[in-house]
Amino acid sequence: MLIIENVRLALSSLKANKMRALLTMLGIIIGIASVIAIMTVGNSLTSSITGSMSAMGANNITVGLQQRENEEEETETGMTFGSGRNQQKAPKEEDYFTADMLEGYCETYSNEIYALSASETIGSGQIEDGNLYANVSVMGASQGYFVANDLTLLSGRFFSDRETDGGDKVAIISEKAVNNMFQGDMEKAIGSTIQTNVNESYENYTVVGVYEYEESAFTFSTSSEKDISTSVYIPLKTALDKNHKAGYTSFTVVTQAEVDSDKFAGTTESYFNTYYRNNRDFEVSATSMASLVSAMSDIMGTVTTAISVIAGIALVVGGIGVMNIMLVSITERTREIGTRKALGATNGSIRLQFIVEAIIICMIGGIIGIALGIAGGILGAQLMDSEAAISASSIIISLLFSIGIGVFFGYYPANKAAKMDPIEALRYE
């Protein structure tokens, strides 16, 4: 009953000084709203980015060559040889992953591997036919590449085994290239010959398939619709022959759904490093998309938390404001405090009265701040084309924090009121 009475007294006091109470709450409102809005926008961006990365292949493992670090050797006399500074080196043909390595790897881990993707870039250029053109980048791709990158075929087919093994001059082009070169007629495009001009080198390819173009979430182009560059895929062996290469510097593994891609990345790295244990310049590095997604989430979470802590400084400022107003209120109500103590009120009841009043001020400010923060967070997420991800934990923590501020900054004024001498208080003018 005492708590209820104190709440009633606190509300009566706030009602009697509405403007002062509102200004007192302002710091709490701004602090809570800032923290909630920042955490909502941060969580929304984190969900959007990690979602896009996961869509690229949560079960994908990227395997590539990594230059070894130079090691210093120390002799018995204390002299050192070698420098700590790495000189950048380009992989040579003897450093490449070979087809035999990949074949042995796939056979060893046939139960864990769903697809293996390898590619070889030829370069950027155009498909040309008189006045018609389409900007493209020509890339050699293995059959597993289309699985790893979830390419959707709109017309035609993917490469056959014969075309892949024989290095035939066939191509799969995008629907945008079809729009530019064949007026959008996919049936006309299939079986037609296109001429590519890459670095002033002309090559003819027979179109066997058309894929659906999807704009990447991580790229932005200012080009017109007609000038957007898309990929032309040719068999991997065709591209390797074109570049006079007999191996690969990197490839992507798509694991089976039930396989732990993080753990299998370590297994893959160990497997291939047996081939490179005597290679002085390069070793193998394997990274799973799942670990990248996790790292990105951690980074975004850390940034969001850091900014929220900075915004939370407003809460401390608001708490100081609460303490200041409570001291003013106690001074104004000195005679009231003296009267209550003269009637038998204990120091504890006086202290509780003003602590409850401070808590009520912070709670009301916190509730208003939460409402404004949620609205601001949703608006910010919409402006960034992300789905709002409101954190229930941040709302609860913010409300508890505001109550804690009320207790912390209300205790000193309340304690000061409780220790007043009732005789002196009654004499106060």
Q: Helix, strand or coil for residue 256?
A: coil
The pTM (predicted TM-score) of the whole model is 0.56
Q: How far apart are CA 250 and CA 198, in angstroms?
A: 23
- Domain locations in the chain as residue ranges: 2-52+296-427, 63-289
Token code pair at residue 85: 């500074």
Q: Which single residue is written with the structure tokens 């085994």?
A: 161
Q: How far apart are CA 336 and CA 369, in angstroms?
A: 32
DSSP string, 35-87: HHHHHHHHHHHHHHHHHHHHHTTTTEEEEEEEEPPP--EE-TTS-EES-SSPP
Asked if residue 326 lies in contact with residue 407, where contact means CB atoms within 8 angstroms, the answer is: no
Q: Helix, strand or coil for residue 116?
A: strand
Q: pLDDT 10s per residue in the chain (429 long)?
A: 567 776 777 677 777 777 777 777 887 888 888 888 888 887 777 776 655 554 555 678 888 898 887 655 555 555 555 555 556 778 888 888 988 899 899 999 999 888 888 888 999 999 999 889 999 999 999 988 988 888 899 999 999 989 998 989 999 999 999 999 999 999 999 999 999 999 888 999 999 999 999 876 445 555 677 888 999 999 999 999 998 888 888 888 888 878 888 888 889 999 999 999 888 889 998 888 766 666 767 777 777 777 777 767 777 777 787 788 778 777 777 777 788 777 777 888 888 877 888 888 888 888 888 899 888 888 888 887 777 777 777 788 777 877 888 788 788 878 877 777 776 766 655
